[in-house]
């Protein structure tokens, strides 16, 4: 289950390195490119196989709206991300939460992502959990991931939002 | 602030309708297309202007982890979406929440989206709020959107996730 962007990149790398197509010298190359661009932006139906997916049963207990509203969820931008020394799981995120003060959050997702993949991404954090020290670093909140099982294995997707959503945008 | 997909589509529509480029008849058209695909999948840095953004101040009060954990957040797939008759704001969503039983949620976001734009999208819902009747329809939960102000105007982005995330995946 690779991110879509990565799949595209791999596909692109299969393209021949050297080309002798007449298109590259023809006078209307720009128009040609534009036409192919138009073709490419047509919606592509990708079949995703969810047949081996298992999810945790939904909660039976209700939560009242007031309790739900006590948590402060925000869009955050990943300014920096690095592995925590001596930890197999933890990544240390430096985040823009819209306040102007960088926020540090630790997340145990190194088994699923390399830190450099995540820089610049727009994610979701709960920002008002009490700070909690982990491996000597204070984690100020939690980044949200979507978790399921597939073929008996845990799969995790860090939530990633449209980059047009600004840091600090509140989730309702 | 249009979704990226929409911006691309508009750009594509500017392409000339008729073309007489040699590329379309040359023998290595496939290779040519592949090369241009490769060029296109190179990362494009888009400058997004966040200078006029205002966000709601972050909560000062902490929430304990147990309180936060009472809310059940899930990835959901939009099976159907339609405007609620006689309502200016409400959209009625029929959602796959992974249980096999369709879930109905009403959301007051018609000012920001047309229902047909949202069909098939992967969104985020809190699924254990008590059902609440709205305009005679029972809404079973809430879809999450990111909200901010821009030039004094409210902007709203319905959270949309990677389509590879299955319905019912739990958010942690």
Interface confidence (ipTM) of the complex: 0.76
Reported as a pLDDT band with limits 50, 70 and 90, residue A84 is: very high
pLDDT tens-place string over residues A97-108 = 999 999 999 999
Instruction: Decide if pLDDT at A17 tops 60.
Output: no
CB contact under 8 A, A146 and B163: no
The whole-angstrom separation of Cα B101 and Cα A49 is 19
B61 touches A at CB < 8 Å: yes
Other CB atoms within 10 A of residue B119 CB: 14
Q: Which residues from chain B sit within 8 angstroms of residue A40, using beta carbons?
A: 37, 40
CA distance A85 to chain B (A): 24
- DSSP three-state, residue A66: helix
Give the residue from B127, B120, B129 showing the smallest Cα distance to B168: B127
Average pLDDT in the A73-92 region? 97
- pLDDT at residue B48, rounded to an integer: 95
pLDDT tens-place string over residues B104-150 = 999 999 999 999 999 999 999 999 999 999 999 999 999 999 999 99
Whether the pTM exceeds 0.90: the reply is: no
Average pLDDT in the A2-14 region? 40
Return mean pLDDT, chain A.
Answer: 84
Low-confidence ranges of chain B (pLDDT < 50): 1-27
A107 touches B at CB < 8 Å: no
Q: Which of B12, B56, B98 sits opposite A55 (nearest CB)?
A: B98
Higher pLDDT, B10 or A162: A162
For residues B149, B106, A63 and B160, what is the CA-based torsion angle, rounded to 10 degrees? -60
Instruction: Decide if pLDDT at A43 tops 90.
Output: no
Higher pLDDT, A32 or A16: A32
- pLDDT at residue B46, rounded to an integer: 82
Average pLDDT in the A143-152 region? 97
- pLDDT at residue A114, rounded to an integer: 98
- pLDDT at residue B165, rounded to an integer: 98
Q: Which of A58, A129, A144 sits opposite B65 (nearest CB)?
A: A129
DSSP symbols for chain B? ---HHHHHHHHHHTS-S----GGGTSTTHHHHHHHHHHHHTS--------TTEE-PPPPSS---HHHHHTS-EEEEEEEEEEEPTT-SS-EEEEEE-SSSS-EEEEES-TTT--HHHHTT-EEEEE--SPPEEETTEEE-SEE-EEEEEETTEEEEEE----TTSPTTPEE-
Cβ atoms A95, A105 nearer than 8 A: yes
CB contact under 8 A, A19 and B31: yes
Q: Which of B23, B56, B62 sits opposite A22 (nearest CB)?
A: B23
């Amino acid at each position: 289950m690779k991110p879509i962007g990565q799949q595209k990149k791999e596909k692109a790398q299969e393209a021949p390195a050297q080309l002798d197509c007449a298109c590259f010298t023809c006078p209307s190359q720009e128009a040609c490119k534009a036409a192919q661009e138009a073709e490419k932006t047509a919606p592509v139906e990708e079949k995703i196989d969810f047949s081996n997916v298992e999810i945790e049963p939904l909660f039976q207990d209700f939560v009242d709206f007031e309790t739900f509203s006590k948590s402060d969820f925000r869009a955050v931008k990943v300014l920096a991300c690095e592995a925590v020394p001596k930890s197999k799981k933890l990544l240390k995120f430096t985040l823009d939460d819209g306040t102007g003060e960088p926020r540090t959050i630790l997340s145990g997702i190194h088994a699923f992502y390399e830190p450099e993949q995540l820089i610049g991404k727009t994610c979701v954090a709960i920002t008002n959990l009490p700070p909690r020290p982990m491996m000597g670093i204070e984690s100020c909140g939690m980044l949200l991931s979507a978790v399921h099982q597939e073929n008996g294995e845990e799969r995790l997707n860090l939530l990633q939002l449209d980059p047009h959503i600004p840091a600090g945008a509140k989730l309702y």
